[in-house]
Amino acid sequence: MKLHLLGVNGPFPGSGGATSGYLLEAPNTLLQFDMGSGVLSRLTALTAPESLTALFLSHWHFDHAADVPVLMYRLEAMSRVLPVYAPDDPDSALFRTVSSAACFDLKVVKPGDRLTLSDVRITVTAARHPVPAVGFRIFCGGKDLGYTGDTNTLPSLVEDYRGCSLLLADGLFPASAWAEGKPHLSAELAARLAEEAGVGQLVITHLNPVFPCETLLREARNIHQNTRIAHAGEVLEC
């Protein structure tokens, strides 16, 4: 599998950046995970968006789904209906827009759900965030990848991502800014999760432009050496 990091910022982009969006290329399958602001144009630079097999949304916050209503115009123009897998959140205006659009086939998912699309198997994982949110674990050809979406600490995360070869994790906060009631992990806590779960490589993402990446990387590597910071435009083999 190849994972294209299209957007790695949150909750807002840095200059020239984009918020959450990751394109997974697997045999006969193209899966888009989240589609925040600036992601649709980056996706279009790689492939026609209507060629996606499906779109997966970790939750409906704008930094993960802002480009979805714009994608709607493209799908309508191409007469394509795209499956969208996402948690139930009727309070979200974006959720209601996608539910009622004919070009989207919305399939509500919850933690524990298992899906198969072509050669790819996906398990929906839990997340702790102020709105309904999930993560994903993706298996294909003997490899596997975890994506936490947005989450703070949750006991089930260790089992959900146990033995993952690559974990793309929300690690927004430096240790000094994290607190129990915040909506995200710190880079240090993401590294602790990776260590406890026996993850191979940890990739810290959902980068807030106000926090220096060097601090996040240093704090995470103190706990899990095999850690890197996500860079938009990067392609990871997994």
The least CB distance from residue 20 to Zn ion, in Å, is 6
On whether the CB atoms of residues 19 and 66 are closer than 8 A, the answer is yes
Q: What distance, in Å, lies between the first and last C-alpha atoms of the chain?
A: 5
Cβ distance to Zn ion smaller for residue 89 or 150 = 150
The β-bridge partners of 116 are 121
Cβ distance to Zn ion smaller for residue 63 or 89 = 63
Cβ distance to Zn ion smaller for residue 13 or 26 = 13
Cβ distance to Zn ion smaller for residue 42 or 61 = 61
The least CB distance from residue 59 to Zn ion, in Å, is 6
The least CB distance from residue 206 to Zn ion, in Å, is 6
Give me the residues that bind Zn ion (CB under 5 A), please.
Answer: 10, 61, 63, 150
On whether the CB atoms of residues 164 and 197 are closer than 8 A, the answer is yes
The least CB distance from residue 60 to Zn ion, in Å, is 9
The least CB distance from residue 63 to Zn ion, in Å, is 4
Cβ distance to Zn ion smaller for residue 182 or 218 = 182
Which residue minimizes CB distance to Zn ion?
61
User: What is the DSSP secondary structure assignment for residue 49, as one 8-state letter?
Assistant: G
Nearest to 206 by CA among 43, 58, 46: 58
Question: If you write DSSP's letter for every residue of 152-184 in order, what string do you get?
Answer: ---TTHHHHTTT-SEEEEE--B-GGG--TTSSS
Most distant pair of Cα atoms in the chain: their distance: 50
